[in-house]
Structure 1
């Protein structure tokens, strides 16, 4: 099969980039793959990219050119924000190529992309035709201009029918699917297909780990500050990996508390090792996550997860089966759960680690994931042929 994969890189690397690279690497083993990527820039170049967001003719021209030369059977889009934009979808459709899109976040519903605003879950946009409440609250980078322009971009393409030119939307969980289905987005339920993320790691079960680890973006919606405050009162070690707008806060805590160590942004291999040697992975997000790759990597290595009781985390992490839940807004509850975990006996911990590997094998292996992806491709291609 000939597959064109399109992805827009953010200024800071994230989980979507990891999924994009992993899928391309796997697809290349058996198929003819071409990638078309875009990169968000800073400064005046980034401002020009943003102005072109709703109608990026240059990105559209690139898509037309590569489709005509490569002649793909299908186009798979991962991210369109913001240097590429949704207009390219229409080009692929007009050239008769079925388009698949993975929804790694909730940007189709809200300019926040995370359904998070001012420290809390924010779902108003789901039920509004145009997300005026989100604009008023400046949910994107606390900017009225950026929030409105992003909202306008997705709204105008909703009115133009651009999203209805996508054959299938891949969502990462049933939880995500339910949010899209109950929203005002005029897309039939059957076009949303649940397909979780995956990772290719040889499953192992460790007998014991050392300390707790956080890996991810250092920002408000990830709940990093309540986590730091909780560990500032605990005797247990916490290692933090990542970068983001709250990095200075993390660095300050690391200077004042010996049990908190900050390692910055690191390579994928080093992060995999960090998870492998941990007592448990901690995911304290106060927003709706898509499907954290770190949890899947932890399960593959038999590492339990202590996570928020919010959204998909409440489904992925099963209390005392693959980990434990806490209220991410309450530092005392984070501390209580961490302490409770430490007090579990060795036999219970060993069983939970084995359960993690079982969950990985059952839901998150690359083999199952890629088989599901190919089924989605073939179905989309067949449906487009029938329409033509």
Structure 2
């Protein structure tokens, strides 16, 4: 089976870039994979690229030539924004090749890609065929003009049926499927498939857990840093913070006044995994709609439960009292209550949640599970498109410990 991966790399490396590379490498050895990539630019060249993204003839010519040379059974598009453009869908379908598109964020429905602007979460874009409210706020790069143009590109392609030509859309969480199922884009909800991201397994190293809570991530407003600091400042519970970002000064200020809060700055992956393995739980207080936070997958792989805001992806990735605890987003008191709940668990109950977190990784986020799901999606659309059929795919098996949800 031959699959052509199409992708536009961001000027600064983004999460979609990581997933594109990971899935390409994942399928090597079980499928013939070739890639065609584009690169977003800045300055005048970037402005021209964004303007012509509505109907990028140069990209279309490259894609057409690649399909003629490679003759793929399926085209898988990861990110077309904005150096490639949605025209990639039309080129592949016109040439008779089925198309899979992974929706890594919510940009098709909101120019910000996250429904998050200067005034916090803005959900009016979910209710509007054309996102005027997002445009008025300049939710894309703080520019009304750029926000309007990006919105118009998506609206135009929805109107002419480009997105309806996609055979399958992949979203990463059940929450994302709910968002896109109620859309104005001409997408048939039956063509939206949930397939999470994955990370390689993380070996056990016998580290004993301590009572410390852990935060790993960017120190920024949308990550809920201020909410977390406020909640922990009212307790004696230890919190270790790893990361960099614009709120570093605020974090350091809290550390000076509250001895239970410590800050390690930016650390390498080995140190982060060591910290996760010994942490009592990971705190994830994000106040915006995340796509699929890799930090949560890493916590689950390390058997670390997650205390997270009950919002967006976290609302479906974390099951309350099973692999973590939910609290109300943007509410420090609710986070304090969640920490108290965790503190009142017995040692056996915490061990069970840790086991459940590890099982969640094995069941949903392992490379083997991801490879199986991705090939099944390809197989399904190839069958419908009467292209070459794959051999039957054997479902991956995993060794699991019994999973229990706390009462």
Matches within 5 A, 1:252-291: 252-254=250-252, 257-258=255-256, 259-264=261-266, 268=269, 271-291=272-292
- CA 1:63–1:270 in 2, change beyond 3 Å: closer, same or farther? farther
Is the CA contact 2:306–2:318 (under 8 Å) kept in the aligned structure 1? Answer: yes
- After superposing the two structures, state which structure 1 stretch, 226-235 or 27-36, moved more: 226-235
Is the CA contact 2:173–2:316 (under 8 Å) kept in the aligned structure 1? Answer: no
Structure 1 position 255, deviation (Å): 5.5
Structure 1 position 155, deviation (Å): 0.7
Is the CA contact 1:320–1:352 (under 8 Å) kept in the aligned structure 2? Answer: yes
User: 2: CA distance between counterparts of 1:249 and 1:217?
Assistant: 9
- CA 1:49–1:212 in 2, change beyond 3 Å: closer, same or farther? farther
Structure 1 position 143, deviation (Å): 1.7
Is the CA contact 2:53–2:82 (under 8 Å) kept in the aligned structure 1? Answer: yes
SS at match of 1:186: coil
User: 1: CA distance between counterparts of 2:215 and 2:56?
Assistant: 37
SS at match of 1:287: coil
- After superposing the two structures, state which structure 1 stretch, 328-337 or 299-308, moved more: 328-337
Structure 1 position 274, deviation (Å): 4.1
User: 1: CA distance between counterparts of 2:159 and 2:200?
Assistant: 40
- CA 1:339–1:206 in 2, change beyond 3 Å: closer, same or farther? farther
The number of residue pairs the alignment matches comes to 381
1:132 aligned partner = 132
- After superposing the two structures, state which structure 1 stretch, 1-10 or 273-282, moved more: 273-282
- CA 1:3–1:176 in 2, change beyond 3 Å: closer, same or farther? same
- CA 1:277–1:207 in 2, change beyond 3 Å: closer, same or farther? closer
Structure 1 position 256, deviation (Å): 5.5
2:153 aligned partner = 153
Matches within 5 A, 1:311-322: 311-322=312-323
2:75 aligned partner = 75
Structure 1 position 81, deviation (Å): 1.7
SS at match of 1:238: strand
- CA 1:219–1:49 in 2, change beyond 3 Å: closer, same or farther? farther
Matches within 5 A, 1:143-292: 143-202=143-202, 204=204, 207-209=208-210, 211-235=212-236, 236-242=238-244, 247-254=245-252, 257-258=255-256, 259-264=261-266, 268=269, 271-292=272-293
1:350 aligned partner = 351
TM-score scaled by length of structure 2 = 0.85
Matches within 5 A, 1:323-342: 323-342=324-343
1:360 aligned partner = 361
1:307 aligned partner = 308
TM-score scaled by length of structure 1 = 0.89
Is the CA contact 2:227–2:331 (under 8 Å) kept in the aligned structure 1? Answer: yes
SS at match of 2:100: strand
- After superposing the two structures, state which structure 1 stretch, 87-96 or 206-215, moved more: 206-215
Structure 1 position 140, deviation (Å): 2.1
Is the CA contact 1:107–1:113 (under 8 Å) kept in the aligned structure 2? Answer: yes
Identify which of structures 1 and 2 has the higher relative contact order when contacts are C-alpha pairs closer than 8 Å and 6+ apart.
1
Structure 1 position 77, deviation (Å): 1.0
User: 1: CA distance between counterparts of 2:69 and 2:271?
Assistant: 39
Instruction: Give the gaps of 5 or more residues in structure 2.
Output: 388-407
- CA 1:220–1:363 in 2, change beyond 3 Å: closer, same or farther? same
- After superposing the two structures, state which structure 1 stretch, 177-186 or 209-218, moved more: 209-218
SS at match of 1:385: coil
User: 2: CA distance between counterparts of 1:275 and 1:14?
Assistant: 23
1:90 aligned partner = 90
